[in-house]
Amino acid sequence: MSTNAQQIHIIGGGLAGSEAAWQLGRRGFSVRLSEMRGANLPGGGDRTDAHHTDGLAELVCSNSFRSDDDTSNAVGLLHHEMRQCDSLIMRAAAEAQVPAGSALAVDRDIFSAHVEKALAELSNVTIVRERVDTLPSDGPTIVATGPLTAATLAQSIGAATGADSLAFFDAIAPIVHRETVDMDICWMASRWDKGDTKDYINCPMNREQYLAFRQGLLDGEKTEFKEWEASTPYFEGCMPIEVMAARGEDTLRFGPMKPVGLDNPHAATPEFPKGRWPYAVVQLRQDNRLGTLWNMVGFQTKLKHGAQKELFRTIPGLENAEFARLGGLHRNTFLNSPILLDRQLRLKSASHIRFAGQITGCEGYVESAAVGLMAGMMAASELSGRDWQSPPRTTAMGALLSHITGDAVAETYQPMNVNFGLFPMPDEAVKKKERKRAYTDRAKRDLAEWLGRERIAEPA
């Protein structure tokens, strides 16, 4: 493979930046991938509030890429489309997969190591541990610094856009050591007892325990806001559990603590041989391939660490729990992309700069990586002297891109996961119960046609 002489600078080695580097690097383009973690800067400026390692594509929240069902689920469809585009993130997920029923979950350490190794093996991709404080004044650039963009670079972006970045809070769920879970109280089942696999640990609560736990969430000592954070909204898809608890007595029981379909085998009697349904459950999902670490599903929290340990050890089966990681809270920032970016993710005021990943206002691991994938393909097309044609809006990638770059209402723009609400409606003749399959079948056809036209040849 020959290498294009013009170097492309990618700032940020998260999922989006790593995917963009892969898409460009495997096509023969010269890439400089700057990642501040691991730079050992004075004053500790090489860390964020959420990261724990300096590995590329570190997963800082859940270890799940959500549903892998590509026949009736929008994010599963996005998985399929990215695989068709030879996504590095999807390759790494396959290598690092751990049991999670119909979801795609990974061992986060194996996943990150695979991404870094694959990029390091591309001779035309240079990984540099450095912090970039200002936007480059020239040269093709992709900014994929994510929701935790360093303050100095965020200021530079603000100066270039002429607008304040929007912000919201993102919360992280705790991780428990499996050997400290009491399986004489807990039991294994699929999520809400759907399917034949038993991939989740279930911790049961009766009504009295649930109400006491909810009150503990409301009363527990929480991370204090800084003055400038007081009006910053939460992203609905990663809502702290205590914020959900405050919305009503039964909110948790219809959300992450939903007990529907989960018969407790430890409560079995001759009359109820399968057991009794608990009033609420706390579910744990495998977080690493060894099965030694399990995360508390939906338990993102801003409780202080001491309060977390005290309260979460009141959960039946977790009385002696040891935590590999406690929950946390960090601030996410993103651009008002419908105003600031063109249809190719380029900054309208500085067209040599593209943005990718969560900083554009998409939400979720897979969505972030997908936008990085498209940014890499766009840059490769531009540098090859070819006109870029976006994926059809009927595809998951096209729908997400359209939302970010113009379909969304700028005045109310908020982070968004991929969902069928972003897609054009299928034919009116399609029955409602068949609609999701109609979305995915149409998307797969249209993506195949688009890929047939848009495959970008390696540079000569």
Q: Which residues are annotated as a binding site?
A: 12-17
Residues 395, 446 contacting (CB under 8 angstroms): yes
C-alpha–C-alpha distance, residues 142 and 326, integer Å: 33
For 123, phi then psi, to 5°, come to -65, -20
Stated as kind and residue range, the H or E segment containing 129 is strand 125-129
Residues 253, 184 contacting (CB under 8 angstroms): no
DSSP 246-300: TT-TTTGGGTTT--TT--BGGG--SSSTT-B--SEEEEEEE-STTS-EEEETT--
C-alpha–C-alpha distance, residues 449 and 438, integer Å: 17
Residues 182, 247 contacting (CB under 8 angstroms): no
C-alpha–C-alpha distance, residues 459 and 24, integer Å: 11
Largest Cα separation within the chain, whole Å, is 75
C-alpha–C-alpha distance, residues 262 and 278, integer Å: 7
Q: Which residues are annotated as a binding site for FAD?
A: 12-17
Q: Cβ contacts of residue 205 below 8 Å, gap of 6+?
A: 213, 257, 278, 279, 280, 281, 282, 315, 316
Judged by DSSP in three states, 403 sits in: helix
Ranges of beta strands (E only) in 299-455 are: 323-325, 328-334, 346-347, 350-355
Residues 378, 135 contacting (CB under 8 angstroms): no
DSSP 38-73: TS--GGGTT--SS--S--TT---S-SEEEE--TTT-
C-alpha–C-alpha distance, residues 393 and 447, integer Å: 10
Stated as kind and residue range, the H or E segment containing 6 is strand 4-11
Judge residue 178's burial from the number of C-beta atoms within 10 Å of its C-beta, 0-12 exposed, 13-18 middle, 19 or more buried: buried
Tokens for 301? 């929290």
Tokens 């530079």 belong to: 156
Which amino acid, residue 165?
A: S
Tokens for 400? 């997400």
Tokens for 126? 């240079």
